[in-house]
Structure 1
Amino acid sequence: MSTPETALSATQAGRRRLSYPMFALAVIVYLAIIQLGGLLMTELTGEDDFLSTRAVFYGMIIPLGVALAFTYGLIAYLGWTRPVLHDDRPTRPWVRVVPIVFLVAIVFGINYSALSDKGLLYTLVLLIATQFVGWGEEGMFRGIGVVVLRDHGLSEGKVALWSSIVFGAVHLTNGITHGANAIGQAIMVSLAGYFFYLTRRVTRGNTVNSVLHGLFDFTLLTGTSILIDQTFYLGALLPILLYPALAIVLLVKRHSIEPAPAHAA
């Protein structure tokens, strides 16, 4: 008879394990590539913002692309392609509200007028750059991070908690360029990490959350960083309102995320 232990062993067969210190080292390398690479590109180009196509390419595409290659290279080396890209822990159907709310905020939150002013090339380069962010961060934290925590036997609740806390904590490194504002960002990012974790679970993989993550960052940038006249954009409120709205829903429904026990059905 198959037991949970034997099923777990079968799932882990043929792939390497990653200790907590080694996972921490992987995260540090990932962050170093982005932060130091970004600073190097800024020094070489002399541009410290993302208001031009050239600045986005050198300041985002290059360091984020290298970090993305590192993440998926590590996944391939560990033999974790399947557990990273596929999730065998379902949730109840109502959790689909999480990616749906994200999609609504993205569609109505993008500043299409500002993008039109910046041009098609700029828009495409920024879109690619933010997808690098989404796939890289989801691969590292909802992919590798979740698998590491599960391999160490944590309950799914603790997997959600600690993967989200780690995700938020690493954004404190943005203090290098953003100062004390990085603290508030880290708190918000931890909450977003939990939303992306639930998206991974309900969509049974790491693809939808990666795409949504990138599009969400794209939306935030179009509503703030690239406005030519820096006037207030009403659509920028939608991504901000997403956090408390989903937090309230999940607080109320927190006990009905996991599938109902078979005997209850």
Structure 2
Amino acid sequence: MTTAKHEVPTPAVTGRRLTYLTFALIVVAYLAIIKISGTLIAGWADEDDTLTTRGVVFTMLIPLGLSVVFTYGVIAALGWWRPVMKDDRPVNRWVWVVPAILLGAILLGINYSALSEKGWLFIVCLLIATQFVGWGEEGMFRGIGVTVLRQHGLREGQVALWSSLIFGVVHLSNAFTGGGSGAIAQAAIVSIAGYFFYLTRRVSGSNAVNSVMHGLFDFSLLTGTVILLDQQAYVGTFAPLLAYPILVIILLVRRKSIEPAGRADATATPS
């Protein structure tokens, strides 16, 4: 069979096959590790906030670290290192605007003044913990999730849509751990963020870039909100939030030019 003149070949997914049900069970196990171990470890350490270095270690770093070990253990067991960590389905180069705007929002959103008062050990622990968030969630949803959907033959637009929706729906679990009705709005916002990270994976060709960006984005948000509640409000916190509508507008306007011309499968724009 010959390849069309401008068509980008679709690489086969190697390793074991994974059913949707098995993937769902893996996601549930991933969530259970974070929620249950987080509750048990925080209770054992008598810590219930993230305002101190000790609090970050016991409420975030340790349970999130366990989830990362689980995620990449699953990837290794499936034999999916390459399809998870490498993305061979490029998009047009202008899509680099997505990680560029996210990076700008991160740099503007970090509360440098308040962080400096916390000390270097707190900063390092928070950076590591948020990187665990990025590598864990991107490994699970943009890594394993995208690979599962592609393995089942979905068009790339469907992969973008469903991987982002799954990512958002999983965050509805926060409704049962103190998030309340706000978890629904969070799930919707997280779904949109999931699409941004999906495009970052595609344009960079690597799941590492979106993992690092994800962790830094969370780090930026936390420095201006949850972590530093004992500080005055930081106006830079709005920068990461403004990145969402800016990117949504850009992607809606240029949605038809995301995929390279002549590509066989459907556009990466969720529809």
- Give your verdict on TM over 0.5: yes
TM-score by length of 1: 0.94
Aligned to 1:213: 214
Coordinate RMSD, CA, aligned: 1.7
Identical-residue share of aligned pairs (%): 62
CA displacement, residues 152-197 of structure 1 (integer Å, 9 cap, x when unaligned): 0000000000000000000011111222221111111000000000
Distance 1:262 1:64 in 2: 38
Q: Does 1:198 align with 2:219?
A: no
Structure 1 residue 118, shift from structure 2 partner? 0.6
5 Å matches for 1:50-199? Answer: 50-175=50-175, 176-199=177-200
| AA aligned opposite 2:78 | L
- The answer on whether the counterparts of 1:42 and 1:59 sit within 8 Å (CA) in structure 2 is yes
Helix, strand or coil at the partner of 1:259:
coil
Aligned to 2:268: none
| AA aligned opposite 1:149 | L
Distance 1:35 1:139 in 2: 18
Aligned to 1:222: 223
- The answer on whether the counterparts of 1:224 and 1:230 sit within 8 Å (CA) in structure 2 is no
| AA aligned opposite 2:72 | Y
Distance 1:218 1:177 in 2: 21
Q: Which shifted more, 40-49 or 197-206?
A: 40-49
Distance 1:262 1:116 in 2: 49
Task: Return the structure number with greater helix share.
Answer: 1
Distance 1:43 1:96 in 2: 43
CA displacement, residues 34-69 of structure 1 (integer Å, 9 cap, x when unaligned): 011111122112222100111111111111111100
Helix, strand or coil at the partner of 1:55:
helix
Consecutive aligned runs of 4 or more in structure 1 exceeding 4 Å deviation = 1-4
Count of residues paired in the alignment: 259
- The answer on whether the counterparts of 1:171 and 1:186 sit within 8 Å (CA) in structure 2 is yes
TM-score by length of 2: 0.92
Q: Does 1:233 align with 2:234?
A: yes
Unmatched segments (≥5 aa) in structure 1: none
